[in-house]
Amino acid sequence: GAVVSQHPSWVICKSGTSVKIECRSLDFQATTMFWYRQFPKQSLMLMATSNEGSKATYEQGVEKDKFLINHASLTLSTLTVTSAHPEDSSFYICSARTSGSSYNEQFFGPGTRLTVL
């Protein structure tokens, strides 16, 4: 149980284009999903918290107009990187939290590797 999927697993795009990444909770409902960014040989950095039916909460330093997050249903959150540039190239990972106990760990997706040429 508690499986999170991401699509696509990797994407290459040209500079200036937009890319959408999907995060789905396959066997549970996730009222809250999270988007992380991981640079090579570095840790995960939380970008934003996505709540179903409301606006995402962005971490300090993350441009909300560049990284658009939509959490339209209890099983799907999307991250759109708008007008992508080479510096946006990274590994993007989503996670989801089940409702209930506040001690629940987060369940992570397999990640999406974005390369902007």
Partner 1 sequence: AQSVAQPEDQVNVAEGNPLTVKCTYSVSGNPYLFWYVQYPNRGLQFLLKYITGDNLVKGSYGFEAEFNKSQTSFHLKKPSALVSDSALYFCAVRDLYNFNKFYFGSGTKLNVKP
| Distance of closest approach, residue 16 Cβ to partner 1, in angstroms | 26
Helix (H) or strand (E) segment spanning residue 11: strand 10-13
Give the angle 116-34-42 at the CA atoms, nearest 5°: 55
Among 1, 14, 41, 61, binds partner 1 (CB under 8 A): 41
Say whether residue 79 binds partner 1 (CB under 8 A): no
End-to-end alpha carbon distance in the chain: 37
Among 8, 9, 16, 27, binds partner 1 (CB under 8 A): 9
The smaller minimum CB distance to partner 1, of residues 15 and 104, is found at 104
Confirm if 38 and 89 have CB atoms less than 8 A apart: no
In the DSSP assignment, the letter for residue 106 is P
| Distance of closest approach, residue 31 Cβ to partner 1, in angstroms | 11
| Distance of closest approach, residue 87 Cβ to partner 1, in angstroms | 20
Among 11, 13, 46, 74, binds partner 1 (CB under 8 A): 46
Among 7, 20, 66, 113, binds partner 1 (CB under 8 A): 113
Q: Which of 98, 101, 88 is nearest to 12 (CA)?
A: 88
Both tokens of 84, joined, read 């992508």
Say whether residue 49 binds partner 1 (CB under 8 A): yes
